[in-house]
Amino acid sequence: MNKLLNINPVGLGLRREMLDEFVQGVPTEVGFMEVAPENWMTLGGKFQRQFRQLTEQHDFLCHGLSLSIGSVDPLDINFLKELKKFFDLHNIKAYSEHLSYCSFQGHMYDLMPIPFTEEAVKHVVTRVKQVQDILERPLILENVSYYAAPGQEMSEIAFTLEVLNQADCSLLLDINNIYVNSVNHRYDANAFLEQLPTERIAYAHIAGHYNEAEDLIVDTHGSDVIDEVWSLLEHAYKVHGHFPTLLERDFNIPSTSELINELKKIQLIQEKTMQNNKQSA
């Protein structure tokens, strides 16, 4: 198991709809949970008490939505200071964000692709270091889905590797995003995965998506994980060893029992590849 994060191997994104059930008892299959801090920082009353109860008893990660690491707008220093207070209060184990931007003279409420250029690499790296200095903790970056590549001078993999190496930061490996991009931009998902640096993978996301057309997939986190994405996760374990993996489901949220079935599938794939890796060693 990858030891960049010392947490249990299978996790679930916590949504507000789950609170009443989970404060009565978190399913044993859920080894850790993750939230978007922007959705929880300002909550008070019952929600805040329930959330604090869970963070006192379980491992939590945060996956941000509005840092906008690739934007040319100045970093929101006050927001970062509030993030730090939130992380400290709830003993958040790690903080990740999207390798993208979502603001230009104000929030755009969508994740936009950073141009794949050397100039953009340097810009992002400078901002990553500023964020880490303020938060006094590492920033983990997620490979993102994108639907256009304006001003592209580098490949997606080359851009991602340059940012990770120059910023000396870890990767949140989103398996579904690799699959989505491989279809939309016509590249080999396995080959992309194999080029990623094992030592930088902190943890992974897996999720469902929506097929807009035969050659266009939209990353939605609103449906079950498909077989091709499960296979890509299995390949990731074969190539990079095991790392904590979290199931994302943002809407069309099914019953907890259905979510647990997908968590069990993550665990089964981990156990299968662990055994295969031992036999081939």
Asked whether residue 1 carries a pLDDT value surpassing 50, the answer given is: no
State residue 110's pLDDT score.
62
For 2-14, how does the pLDDT look when each residue is reduced to its tens digit (9 = 90+)? 558 999 999 999 9
At 219, the pLDDT band (50, 70, 90 cuts) reads low
State residue 149's pLDDT score.
77
Token pair, residue 122, equals: 């340097």
State residue 235's pLDDT score.
98
For 202, the 3-state DSSP assignment is: strand
In terms of Cα–Cα distance, which of 116, 28, 114, 133 is closest to 75?
A: 133
CA-CA distance, 90 to 98, in Å (whole number)?
A: 22
For 71-96, how does the pLDDT look when each residue is reduced to its tens digit (9 = 90+)? 999 999 999 999 999 999 999 999 99
Q: Which residues contact 219 (CB under 8 A, 6 or more apart)?
A: 145, 176, 177, 180, 207, 209
For 128-150, how does the pLDDT look when each residue is reduced to its tens digit (9 = 90+)? 999 999 999 999 999 988 877 77
Q: What is the identity of the amino acid at 102?
A: C
Average pLDDT for 242-265: 94
In terms of Cα–Cα distance, which of 143, 202, 271 is closest to 6?
A: 202
Q: Which CATH class is domain 10-280?
A: alpha beta
Average pLDDT score over the chain: 91
Domain boundaries, the chain: 10-280
Percent of the chain with pLDDT over 70: 91
At 113, the pLDDT band (50, 70, 90 cuts) reads confident
